[in-house]
Structure 1
């Protein structure tokens, strides 16, 4: 089986080396070791040293040197909006306080569909709308990349 052991970040992808595309939702883009089948039929073993997040536009480097481009799949999301910026920032704090992955845009926050969170957000004055689109949540503050390496360090307690 073809093996892939590294991720090329979107800003370093050589489009001429792409031989296939793989469409994955947010949950499936956090991987370490799994057999994957790209949209065009290329099957390969993703075998990273440690779990990492495949971002929309990144590429998985096959051992042959060819690349499989990562495309974020459309997902059922909740678009969260408010009347003003301060209210949206307050909602972002509440969402973050629950350690929920969130995509933050200028005028909205996007989270994975969760009826309990929708009820909480409505109670805080939010407007919500169910949408279908790729989910690209903000990476955590302690997530660092160093030439493909992933490090995670907590300087605080969750207890």
Structure 2
């Protein structure tokens, strides 16, 4: 059993003992039990911790270092002109939907109602299985 209690920012120069592939939702849990192929891992992080792709987790005594990676998961990928993407982000934000925002696309968890809304607004929407990095809330938390 390994208890991971400390989060460090990404650093590719630090060697790691293993990686943990976690979905976006799993990366929002501060208390969590995971079973890897070789280990039982307990996350015991401060409340409100949201893990990002590449973050490092350490045991309290620093005997184990683990890299978090964003696990590919089903998502909707939304593409459109910049103005239409802004409109989409506005409407999704009003619904408090976790969204990954880039200048070229938006990503969100699959939802048929939201897909229909976005298509009716003129967006191109397709399903994919990709890493998902939704924005963290403006006040440092995740819905």
TM-score between the two structures when normalised by the length of structure 2 = 0.89
Is 1:92 aligned to 2:89, yes or no? Answer: yes
The structure with more strand, counted as a fraction of residues: 1
**Structure 2 counterpart SS, 1:131:** strand
Gaps of 5+ in 1: 144-151, 153-159
DSSP 3-state at the match of 1:103: strand
Cα deviation 1:89-132 (Å, max 9, x = unaligned): 11111111111011111211111111110011112111111111
What stretches of structure 2 of length at least 5 have no aligned partner?
Answer: none
TM-score (norm 1): 0.81
Q: Provide the aligned length of Structure 1 versus Structure 2.
A: 140
> Over residues 41-77 of structure 1, what are the superposed CA-to-partner deviations in whole Å (9 max), with x where a residue is unaligned?
2322211231311111001111231211101110111
Higher relative contact order (CA 8 A, sep 6+): 2
The structure 1 segments of at least 4 consecutive aligned residues displaced by more than 4 Å after TM superposition are: none
Residues in 2 aligned to 1:123 and 1:60: alpha-carbon distance in whole angstroms: 42
Residue of structure 2 equivalent to 1:6: 6
Distance (Å, rounded) in 1 between the aligned partners of 2:71 and 2:106: 18
- Counterparts of 1:6 and 1:70, CA distance in 2: 12
Report the aligned-residue RMSD: 1.6
Residue 14 of structure 1: CA displacement? 5.0
Please point out which of 34, 43, 49 is paired with 1:52. Answer: 49
